[in-house]
Structure 1
């Protein structure tokens, strides 16, 4: 009976996991094919909480302030907008599209009785929102 080399087996398993992750990404980031009129993708976010605030970072590469809408309704923060395909010019062939394009929306429910947008900035492809905890119902 021949024993399998564990390094070969582990490498094979790692490649299988990466392939499955790639298939999932392609399934979720399709260019508007599945839901006409609705959002196509959700931007990834990081959320940090202090005693007085929430700080939200959203990755929005290539999205300008004019394409962005931020709505705070009670404890639900909604970030929506659109990321347009770049105008590369006539005759260009797409070789790879990994960054999602089209309409996006991200709804975030925050566990706080009252929130107020204290500051917002959009720099280097990252939206930063600072939300103060007011403690008052909205």
Structure 2
């Protein structure tokens, strides 16, 4: 833990504030875990659309799979090349492997999925199975 609760119990009430300032100056920012990549999902009668924010990720470093009603986006964001003797002043972006599973609002047709990556945004359209599409029922006269 970066800032233990015991710091509050010390004699100097400003000790925790000084420690936080030092850590922030070094670029160590305490943060809550957040899902990566951030996604938006919406649905129409024929398909669902998913957008995922993937800045700095190349298309060759992304794997997309669809099974039943789960879309999985996995991959790797590579760290930038830095000289061995470089000193980081701030390091807020995360690098490394990631995986995100998104439950879709219907069972997907894995043969009807398209994906595009542009400007750091992955766009995926997932078609709905024909038998799962809503059908209009005709009412016959009695």
Query: What are the ranges of 5 or more consecutive residues in structure 1 without an aligned counterpart?
Result: 1-21, 30-40
2:126 is paired with a residue of what secondary structure?
strand
Deviation at 1:136, TM superposition (A): 4.4
Deviations 1:54-104 (A, max 9, x none): 110111111111111001011110000111110022322112222221110
Other-structure match for 1:92: 86
**Corresponding residue pairs, total:** 103
Q: CA deviation at 1:119?
A: 1.6
Q: Runs in 1 of length 4+ with deviation above 6 angstroms?
A: none
Is 1:47 the counterpart of 2:41? The answer is yes
2:30 is aligned, of 17, 23, 26, to 23
Larger radius of gyration: 2
Cross-structure match for 2:70: 76
Q: Does 1:63 align with 2:70?
A: no
Q: CA deviation at 1:48?
A: 1.4
| Residue of structure 2 equivalent to 1:119 | 114
**By how many angstroms is 1:107 displaced?**
0.2
Q: TM-score, normalised by structure 1?
A: 0.66
TM-score, normalised on structure 2?
A: 0.64
The corresponding residue for 1:101 is 95
